Structure 1
Amino acid sequence: MPEQKTFVAAEIGLHARAAAVFVRAVTETGLPVTIRKHNGAPVDARSLLEVMTEDFDQGCEVYLNIAPEDLSGDQTIPMAERALFALSAVLEGTQAR
């Protein structure tokens, strides 16, 4: 399963604007990405409400995942891995949006 460990750099965590920027980036990938805290239950990273209610604070270690069985059509594991890396950059604040 493609997985990327990263952290939340936004000063206020994934709330309001930062969450919206992240969810928009996830949606643009067209992939079924989930996000979770260490030992936490995964939530749909395409859902602003789910992301905001999980309380991902600044510095919080998170895991982005895509289950291979959720890939469809021409979506490949290498494509999923590249997308997770790019989404990690969004969370870490290293990619301008």
Structure 2
Amino acid sequence: MWSGNFATRRRGPSFTEGVPLPTEKAVVAAPAGLHARSAAVFVRAVTDTGLPVTISKAGADKADARSLLQVMTADFPQGCEVELSISDSALEGGLGREQAENALRELRGLLESQGAI
């Protein structure tokens, strides 16, 4: 049985250390912003990627884009510029950077295409 102290255990350096994380900026096009149906469509698309995507706007904390409650609570109105990002832990798990960037581009396209949401 392990008897070490969690406070003294340190995680090794990330192989992504010093490398910018995959991010995409987008502008919310849905007339009602990310509320109700548009938020549900977006969250479903994020969940389908299987990636830990976050969404944020200037001056606000990041929200887990896989959580409908967090996305709706964060209030992203029409015309709001948002930043989508994927945590470095996803890249450490063997996910290719190119795959992560492609997923974010697809999500950006969804947010920016008013007809899709």
> Structure 1 CA distance, aligned partners of 2:75 and 2:32?
10
> Structure 2 CA distance, aligned partners of 1:96 and 1:68?
29
SS of the residue 1:10 aligns to: coil
* Structure 2 gap segments, 5+ residues each: 1-20
Q: Percent identity?
A: 57
| Structure 1 runs (4+) greater than 6 angstroms displaced | none
Which residue does the alignment assign to 2:89? 69
SS of the residue 1:62 aligns to: strand
> Cα distance, 1:70 vs. partner?
2.7
Which of 32, 35, 40 is the equivalent residue of 2:60? Answer: 40
Which of 22, 26, 33 is the equivalent residue of 2:46? Answer: 26
> Structure 2 CA distance, aligned partners of 1:93 and 1:13?
12
TM-score relative to the length of structure 1: 0.91
> Structure 1 CA distance, aligned partners of 2:116 and 2:64?
23
- Go from structure 1 to structure 2 and tell me whether the alpha carbon gap of 1:95 and 1:3 turns closer, same or farther (over 3 Å shift): farther
CA-based RMSD of the aligned residues comes to 1.7
* 2:15 aligned with 1:15: no
> Structure 2 CA distance, aligned partners of 1:95 and 1:65?
23
SS of the residue 1:57 aligns to: coil
Which residue does the alignment assign to 1:54? 74
Which residue does the alignment assign to 2:25? 5
C-alpha contact 1:89 1:95 (8 A) present in aligned 2: no
Higher relative contact order (CA 8 A, sep 6+): 1
Rg (Cα) greater in structure:
2
> Structure 1 CA distance, aligned partners of 2:92 and 2:38?
28
> Structure 1 CA distance, aligned partners of 2:115 and 2:106?
8
